[in-house]
Every structure is written in C-alpha cells, then in structure tokens.
Chains A and B, each alone.
Chain A
C-alpha cells in the first residue's frame, strides 16, 4: 500500500539527479527490490506511471530486478536461496539463518538524455 510513497520518492530522486546534471528526459529507472521487502512491483509501476505523467520522466521505463531471498547458515556457513520464507539450511537443517539479502529497496541506476 505504501507503493505510492515509494514511487514518489523514486520519482523525486530521479528528477533531482536529472535536473542537477542538466538533462531533459528520463528514459528509464532501474530498481533492485528484494522479495522480502514487501513491495508489490505491479502496483509500484502503476503509481510511478501516474505520478510521473506531468514530468520529464513521463515515458520512463521502470525496470525492476527482483532479488531472491538469500540466507547463510550460522552453523555450517552454507549460502543458499530461499524459494519460500522457510529459514532452514538445506545442508545441515539448522534453523539459525542469517538473511544475507532479500530486503533491499535500491535505486540502482537511471538512463537520461
């Protein structure tokens, strides 16, 4: 539900970066979003489209890399991807797992002209 405010901060930041550097048009914004971040990508895309309508980002492509949830076993050190949110080591079945990635919400790069 907070996709609207996330979309707004992406747009604000993109516009600021483009304006500071004197560009006229934002062609694309590339995001990296972890699967545990709670962000719904389709809804984010929709919000971004609505918010950017009157700006230089109006035709910008919002591309998203969905990052897997990656865990590391604190017992045997094995790293692995999690398909489901079930934190168990596939090697030693230990449940003490450190989440290495999957909660990210990153604005990675943008294309401008």
Chain B
C-alpha cells in the first residue's frame, strides 16, 4: 500500500525560525547569520565589527561551535554579550538551538544580534535560524572558485564579505572571478571587501549595518 505524505523535511525548523524572527523583530533587533568555511575569519570579523559599533549600536553574539567555549570567552573578554552553542558534532545550527540560546541572553536594549554559525559552507546554508539575512564570508586565502563549488551558501545569502583583503597581493585569489561567480549565483548580493585586522573596507560595512538597522526599525510592526 502507498501512503502519500508530501511532507517538507525542513518544515519544523522553518516554522520555528519564523517564530524566532517574529520575536526578535518585535524587539526591533536586526539579526544576522554568519556563514563561512572554517578559518575564513568569522570570529575576528564579528569581534572587530562589535568593537567599531560601540556607542553606535548595542550588540550581542550567539556563537556556534562543534566543541569548546573559546569563542564565547574571547567575546566576553572583549566586553561583549555572548552565548555559546556547542552542537556536539552537529555541522550547523538550527532554529531550536538559537531559541534556547536566546533564553540565556540579555536582550535588553539590543540592536543587532550576530549569530556565528559552525564553520562549514555546506550545511548551514539550508537552515534558517530566525535571522533577517545570511552573511557569507569568503577569504582571500581560500580558493576563488568557492562560490561555484558551494552555490547554496551564496544563493541564500544577502551579503558577501570578501575577508583578509590585505592578503590579496600574497595569494593567487582572483577577486574579480570570485565576485563574478558569486553574482552569477545571486545577482542581488551586496559585496564588501574587508580586512578587519588592517581596518580596510570596514567603514562601508559598518555604514551598511547601521543603514540596515534603521530600515528594519522603520518597517517595524507597530
């Protein structure tokens, strides 16, 4: 006998993600989900972004890692609100994990929530966490063919940050090819070229963040 199901395997996660997003939006919080391969510089970029947002916006971080609370401790040492999620082997965060993490995060007066996903360019791309948008990082020390190899991540993101741009002269990374390929997959990508350690391109990225926060607040449900 045949049983017809037509069941969406992502439905449970997507439903919860929509709830999380509604909750955060009511609080007027802009939520960004950061994706990249391991080592592209997510933690450093977020840390340097938070530092530069001091006095301009209240921020917090949810850090996803397979093991250890090292990144959370790093954020806290720098004086930021942070919660760690250990996925215990899981290769991506889920909306349920974020919902749980929110319970132990002080949301009072919060403007922007940064979610640092597990370093992995494949799995996190398919899972909504309740974010307003995904931000994908591609560093100049990786292959410039990553967008073509991992299209889902670039297809699902609204922003691409080319990181470690200061190292470009020392690598064979073809910046034009990487951007061209990424824009083929997603013509609406907003692209920034940054070096968080050498403070290159960070001004544009920060201006964009503030503008996006203001736009979100303006569209907020009354």
User: Which chain A residues have a beta carbon within 8 Å of chain B's beta carbons?
Assistant: 1-2, 5-6, 9-10, 13, 17-18, 21, 23, 36-38, 85-88, 95-97, 99, 103-113
Contact = CB atoms under 8 A, between A and B. Distances in A.
B92 interface: yes
Nearest to A112: B1
14 contacts: A10-B9, A13-B5, A36-B155, A85-B148, A85-B151, A85-B184, A86-B185, A95-B187, A96-B187, A99-B155, A103-B126, A107-B5, A108-B5, A113-B1
Contacts of A96: 187
A109 B185 contact: no
A29 B92 CA distance: 26
Interface residues of B, number: 26
A37 B125 CA distance: 9
B92 to A, nearest CB: 6
A106 B126 CA distance: 14
Contacts of A113: 1
Nearest to A85: B151
A23 to B, nearest CB: 7
B122 interface: yes
Contacts, number: 80
Contacts of A87: 184-187
A41 to B, nearest CB: 14
Nearest to B89: A4
Contact of B2 (A13, A37, A105, A109): A109
Contacts of B120: 1
B4 A38 contact: no
B101 interface: no
Given A36-B155, A110-B3, A111-B1, 10 more contacts: A1-B120, A2-B90, A2-B126, A36-B151, A86-B184, A97-B187, A105-B10, A107-B7, A109-B3, A109-B6
A86 B185 CA distance: 5
A112 B3 contact: yes
